[in-house]
Amino acid sequence: MKTFKIAVIAGDGIGPEVLAEGIKVLNKVAEKDGGFRFEFTHFPWGCQYYLETGKMMPDDGIDTLRQFDAIYLGAVGFPGVPDHISLWDLLLRIRKSFDQYVNIRPVILLDGAPCPLKDVKKEDINMLYIRENSEGEYAGAGDWLYKGKPHEVVLQNGVFSRVGTERIIRYAYEEARKQGRSLTSISKGNALNYSMVFWDEIFKEVGKEYPDVKTYSYLVDAAAMFMVKDPKRFEVVVTSNLFGDILTDLGAAISGGMGLAAGANVNPERKYPSMFEPIHGSAPDIAGQGKANPLASIWSASQMLDFFGYEKWGAELIRIIEQVMVEKNALTPDMNGHATTSEVGDEVVRKVDELRIG
Ligand code: NAD
Ligand code: IPM
Ligand code: MN
């Protein structure tokens, strides 16, 4: 039987709470299918580990992860460890070391999901964000000069390579072509007169190979406005690392909240493991209280199933998430329910169990 080896980095805050539910669901899916199984290996890396060892993960952590088929991650970051250390030494290190340059973040209004926008129908919010995930504003290039002096200077350089920009834009064109949908590029060439002018040029250049794909180009400020005022404009979207980070939290807000939004960090060449995670953080404000919504981590489990070629199961999990939200019997407080994290997970597991297969 096919065995998928999954490295589990539950991480901090609500990370372990929500991942436990995703793992329950994946195990039930495998049991139900009968044709594959998961082998989960847990790594205790994160802020607690840092406080004990001075490191977010061991020095050979990346080598250890290399042998896995995928990584399932909860959340990283907690008060007590500076965020730029915890995130750079674990989450961002994995994304970069494994060249997970595509961050796939669906912004889709599922049935039953709470939406704060007026007069918006389900069909109006159906976007696929493709966020550059390896460089750009997150290149980590810069300097801090004359620290503490009156003429202190900090530099944070955006790095947009031709290879890096072309490959993410080409990936997005391919996806738009495959889906038969339009492609929107979001940038900021009016103010960022090197990086984003370059981005826009490459978007046009690569687009010549895809005359069949209808394209739009927005400035990021206007894009943020249109996501709220007229979200149906957006279908497949490609954007830079930082803009994609910010706009997908906005996307989460208009399509069910942080408790529902998922993301896949993909190395398309499959040379290295890809990583699946909810897009939310460790939510210190609700950690340890059983209030965290596990649906985002379950949606990312669905993305993992898609990635392994079990698209039917991926779609089945999305249908079940919709059912759970429509029925409202087991929802966490962020969705105006009274259920605990594990009660929501149990409900999803029960629905997987009840499916008639074949
Ligand atoms: P956050 O996403 O953790 O929380 C923002 C708000 O959303 C909070 O009110 C929180 O309670 C709520 N929320 C988030 N996930 C939820 C869920 N599953 N169910 C119900 N409510 C949920 O963002 P933040 O507070 O800005 O960051 C907290 C920490 O997490 C920081 O250290 C930050 O750097 C880190 N972070 C990590 C990741 C990651 O690991 N991928 C992502 C974002 C932030
Ligand atoms: C995300 C997170 C990360 C990012 C942080 C924690 C570094 O916000 O995955 O959206 O900005 O990519
Ligand atoms: Mn984010």
Q: Which domain holds residue 199?
A: 115-255
Q: Please, is 219 exposed, middle or buried when counting C-beta atoms within 10 Å of its C-beta (0-12, 13-18, 19+)? A: middle
Q: How far is the CA of 13 from the centre of ligand 1 (A)?
A: 9
Q: 272 and 355: one domain? A: yes
Ligand 1 centroid vs 62 CA: distance in angstroms? 24
Do 76 and 192 lie in a common domain?
no
Q: Are residues 49 and 150 in the same domain?
A: no
Q: Does the residue 167 lie in any domain?
A: yes
Nearest Cα residue to atom 11 of ligand 2: 245
Closest Cα to atom 5 of ligand 2? 87
Report the CATH number at residue 298. 3.40.718.10
- Looking at the structure, do residues 123 and 251 belong to the same domain, yes or no? yes
Kindly state whether residues 307 and 249 are assigned to the same domain: no
Distance CA 47, CA 15 (A): 12
Strands of the chain (E only): list them.
Answer: 2-11, 36-42, 70-75, 102-108, 126-132, 136-145, 153-159, 183-187, 215-219, 236-239, 262-266, 274-278
pTM over 0.95: yes
CA-closest residue to ligand 1 atom 36? 281
Q: What is the pLDDT of residue 358?
A: 63
Domain endpoint, select from 190, 224, 255:
255
Q: Give the distance (Å) from ligand 2 centre to CA of residue 82.
A: 14
Residues with CB under 5 A from ligand 3 (ion): 245
3-state secondary structure of 282: coil
141 - beta bridge partners? 157
In a domain, 325, yes or no: yes
Asked, for residue 164, whether it belongs to a domain, the answer is yes
**Stretch (H or E) spanning 239:** strand 236-239
In contact, 101 and 167? CB cutoff 8 Å: yes
Tell me whether residue 126 is exposed, middle or buried, using C-beta atoms within 10 angstroms of its C-beta: 0 to 12, 13 to 18, 19 or more.
Answer: middle
Give me the average pLDDT of each 10-residue run along the chain (358 residues).
98 98 98 97 98 98 98 98 98 98 98 96 97 98 98 98 98 98 98 98 98 98 98 98 98 98 98 98 98 98 98 98 98 98 98 89
Let me know if residue 110 belongs to a domain. no
Query: In a mutational test of the pocket of ligand 2, which residue from 71, 88, 91, 241 has the highest number of ligand atoms less than 8 Å from its CB?
Result: 91
Mutate to test the pocket of ligand 1, among 71, 95, 282, 298 (most ligand atoms within 8 A of CB): 282
Q: How many whole angstroms from 1 Cα to the centroid of ligand 2?
A: 36
Nearest-CA residue for atom 1 of ligand 2: 279
The answer to whether the CB of 77 is under 6 A from ligand 1 is yes
Please tell me the total count of domains within the chain: 2
**269 and 251 housed in the same domain:** no
CA 242 to ligand 2: nearest atom? 11
Same domain, yes or no, for 94 and 32?
A: yes
Whether residue 128 has its Cβ less than 6 Å from ligand 1: no
Last residue of a domain, one of 207, 225, 255: 255
Instruction: Assess whether 199 and 137 both reside in one domain.
Output: yes
Q: Is 280 in the pocket of ligand 1 (CB under 6 A)?
A: yes
> Which of 255, 285, 317 is a domain's end point?
255
